[in-house]
Structure 1
Amino acid sequence: MSDLLKRNGWTIAERSPVATQRLLSRARWDTAGAMSVERRFAVARLDAAAAPASLTVGALDEFGREKKGSATSGVKRQHMGCAGGVDNGVNTVYLAYVRAGSGHILIGARQWIPAEQITSPITALTTGLPLDLAFATKGELGMSLLSDAYADSVRFDFLTGDEVYGACTKLRTFLEEHEQAYVLRVRSSFTVTLGGGTTLTCAQAVARYCRPKRAWTIRSVGDGSKCERLYAWAWIATAGPVHFLLIRKHRKTGDLAFHYCFVPAGQPATLARLISAAGLRWPVEESFEFGKDLFGLDESQVRLYEAFLRHLVLVMSALAICAASAAAARRRTYTQAPSPHRPDQPPPADPGVIPVTIAEIKHLFNAATPATPALLHTAHWSIWRRRHQARARWFHKRARLATT
């Protein structure tokens, strides 16, 4: 949580170079138990700060990191989102806990290990792979993360994920067996069975049933950093009473995104509820950004499987503390002026301030330590910055009204 520009093994352990590597590689502590503690802490704090009826969403996603060489566990030439294509690196599957109107925190992680590393005795030994480790796809790793979350009494209204998880039949079956509602992204070529036994791809279903403009409704999926995120939405019932196809269309480009949905019998299945769940998938990307920029999520200098997971646990714990603190302080620090309603509306006398952010909590934490006693100055600077951001956000929304 320090203000170091880099938070790798060297910069953290400059005073004692072996300290960080010993903590991650050789010290005796329960990695899975520590992750369970972090998960229960994060969920309890977000629930305490949230409105009683706010939606709870679990989001599965993977985060890649470029790596050189071939001595690190899980390293392989593969598709890396951070590299914009195929590159040498490692991939990790994460589970995020998202509470509408409160915040979002990473609550689980599993590193993806290629099959050839597991079956090679030499590679498995040099990278510290567990003896009982079996190959698992990213969807199967998601199932393992969800099993751990359920064991800790974590419950979700919906489970969300991108095409990687929507295409995993095992994951969808696992969720339906646990009566877990989900809204999973799928490709346009994904097939659905409609009434009468007709089988169509998602693209064909939209072409047949969503041509009239009245088939689409404009709905917001929440506030972005500057304005509401508005899309056109439509949904199609399938042959079964618990499955639906949800379609999102970009209002300007017309690009389509498809979601295969499951809502168990007895639970409310409305378009508004499915849209809200689909819109709560994106915060996991923000958690990756915070973890990387503020806490060094992608800066570990380790090669062993267990050391890699331990680094993730420590970063997730730091992120959880700051995210939980920001969620608890949101109601007390959110004084943003109401949004404008017309293009010629004069600005408010006081724009207010945006709610305290995770980055601000981290800065205040460091300012309060004995090494940096300038807490009062940092607090004033935080309020000034957030008031300036609130003013800029208000003017941006007014400018958008003139072009809508």
Structure 2
Amino acid sequence: MDTIGARFTRPEPRRRVRDFVAGLLAPLPAKNCWTIAEHAGDDGPGGMQDLIGRASWDDTLVRADVRDFVTAHLGHPDAILVVDETGDLKKGTRTVGVQRQYSGTAGKIENCQLAVHLSYASPLGHTLVDVALYLPRSWAEDPGRRAEAGVPETVTFATKPQLARRLIDTALAGGLPCRWVAGDEAYGGDPHLAAALRGRRLGYVLAVACSHHVPTGLGKHRADQIAAGLPKHAWQRISAGDGAKGHRYYDWAFITLPLAADQHAGHHWLLIRRTRSTGELAFYRCWSPQPVPLQQLVTVAGSRWRVEESFQAAKTGLGLDQHQHRRWRAWHRWTTLVIAAHAFLAAAATVSTTNAEDMIAITANELRRLFHALIIEPARRIADLIAWSIFRRRHQATARTSHYARQALTEP
């Protein structure tokens, strides 16, 4: 709150933001304005709903403050920006950005909402730092749907790689220190994003499809054709990072691509990963302003899993996908406060250290449980719980009376 509080000019919204984030950190069975208001001891959900939907504050500036907070607590010159998308399954067609589209989260085409997230991974920790909601063309070109969902006039259709580029540009302009960018095939297959990163002198390890064509001394060849022709000694067993059950070992090979040179100079490689148990292959286009060893490229490729860990923590523990808001501004505000809560946990976890050999370092999820049990929960009042029980029953009685009255108009 010392970081973002100045964005809220009055004490009431400052208090509500504090209570809202505390509610996100709490182990509530479901997170929405009703449950968070009850947890905060408010006399109803109206204040929290007003904070998310109507109060005067700029979520873009709050995310900028969160980025500064991350820079101060997790910043490192060798850090990695990871771009990835996540989908939230939704019903109906009125929630902003929702349509039937492929969701990597579900692994198939679903009625869902997609957002491109920017994650920051450094030797000190990792966290979400920024987000851009993907607005499909069917939404971007429909004035009626845009108006109903409150989409600003300045927002136009942009592909996911274009959204990722904007997020990266914003992070760099804000002074977030980093050296690398990592992403999956949705971003590695876009040559404009790769060229923009080279122009920024940012190294990258971006996944590409097996059909991706690579320039070699004998012309352009598919990535899987190049892998098939590699000799046995070209492969090296290297860990892509520590996992919960041990090192994540794969076989790796990389091929220098001198014919891929462009006006940005630097060094190009094709990196190939082979799963040791199944032989499944994955391919990456890599670039760096300076020569780097294979181990460095493998480390960057393995860091992409950090964003999946952040998604899991933000969804299961902080309610990232539990919002019940249909409009553009409310969606961004909810997501921004979830990002702020996640950044707080990531930074606080770096402060907690242990020298015990029989314990791992504290995780963000464990810290969230302790913070709630030791800090938030003792401050709550029993009277608040009773007051909300009365409020809920009165609200339900009013709703029931309205339903019966409406039915009496049409039924004998």
Any conservation in 1 of the 2:71–2:177 contact (CA below 8 Å)? no
1:251 aligns with 2:276: yes
Structure 1 residue aligned with 2:36: 12
Any conservation in 1 of the 2:185–2:206 contact (CA below 8 Å)? yes
Structure 1 residue aligned with 2:326: 303
Any conservation in 2 of the 1:335–1:355 contact (CA below 8 Å)? no
Any conservation in 2 of the 1:367–1:373 contact (CA below 8 Å)? no
- The equivalences for 1:251-290 within 5 A come to 251-264=276-289, 267-290=290-313
TM superposition shift of 1:269: 2.0
Q: Over alpha carbons, which structure has the higher Rg?
A: 2
- The equivalences for 1:360-371 within 5 A come to 360-369=366-375, 371=377
1:321 aligns with 2:315: no
TM superposition shift of 1:37: 0.4
1:183 aligns with 2:205: yes
1 CA distance for matches of 2:377 and 2:208? 50
Any conservation in 1 of the 2:349–2:363 contact (CA below 8 Å)? yes
Q: Any gaps of 5 or more consecutive residues in structure 1?
A: 337-351, 375-404
1 CA distance for matches of 2:48 and 2:323? 10
- The equivalences for 1:2-401 within 5 A come to 2-14=26-38, 15-47=43-75, 55-100=78-123, 102-196=124-218, 198-208=219-229, 210=230, 212-238=231-257, 239-240=259-260, 242-264=267-289, 267-329=290-352, 332-333=353-354, 335-336=356-357, 352-369=358-375, 371-372=377-378
**Secondary structure in 2 matching 1:228:** strand
Give the AA of the match of 1:225: A
Q: Any gaps of 5 or more consecutive residues in structure 2?
A: 1-24, 262-266, 381-412
TM superposition shift of 1:309: 0.8
User: Runs of 4 or more off by more than 2 Å in structure 1?
Assistant: 81-84, 368-374
Is the alpha carbon distance of 1:334 and 1:165 closer, same or farther for their aligned partners in structure 2, counting shifts above 3 Å?
Answer: farther
TM superposition shift of 1:222: 1.5
1 CA distance for matches of 2:376 and 2:323? 27
TM superposition shift of 1:334: 5.0
2 CA distance for matches of 1:151 and 1:289? 28
TM superposition shift of 1:20: 2.2
Which digits, 9 at most, give the CA deviation of each residue in 1:174-210, with x for residues without a partner? 11111111000000000010125x10010111122x1
TM superposition shift of 1:328: 2.2
Any conservation in 2 of the 1:334–1:356 contact (CA below 8 Å)? no
Any conservation in 1 of the 2:101–2:112 contact (CA below 8 Å)? yes
Give the AA of the match of 1:88: N
Structure 1 residue aligned with 2:14: none
**Secondary structure in 2 matching 1:107:** strand
2 CA distance for matches of 1:128 and 1:169? 33
2 CA distance for matches of 1:195 and 1:237? 11
Give the AA of the match of 1:9: C
TM superposition shift of 1:160: 0.3
What is the percentage of aligned positions where both structures have the same residue?
37
* TM-score, normalising length: structure 2: 0.81
Relative to structure 2, which stretch is displaced further, 287-296 or 35-44?
35-44
TM superposition shift of 1:119: 1.6
Which digits, 9 at most, give the CA deviation of each residue in 1:110-159, with x for residues without a partner? 00001121221111100110111110000000011011101111132210
Is the alpha carbon distance of 1:152 and 1:206 closer, same or farther for their aligned partners in structure 2, counting shifts above 3 Å?
Answer: same
Any conservation in 2 of the 1:232–1:250 contact (CA below 8 Å)? yes
Give the AA of the match of 1:222: G
**Secondary structure in 2 matching 1:113:** coil
TM superposition shift of 1:273: 1.0
Give the AA of the match of 2:370: L
TM superposition shift of 1:356: 0.8
* TM-score, normalising length: structure 1: 0.83
1 CA distance for matches of 2:232 and 2:351? 43
2 CA distance for matches of 1:261 and 1:284? 19
Any conservation in 2 of the 1:236–1:245 contact (CA below 8 Å)? yes
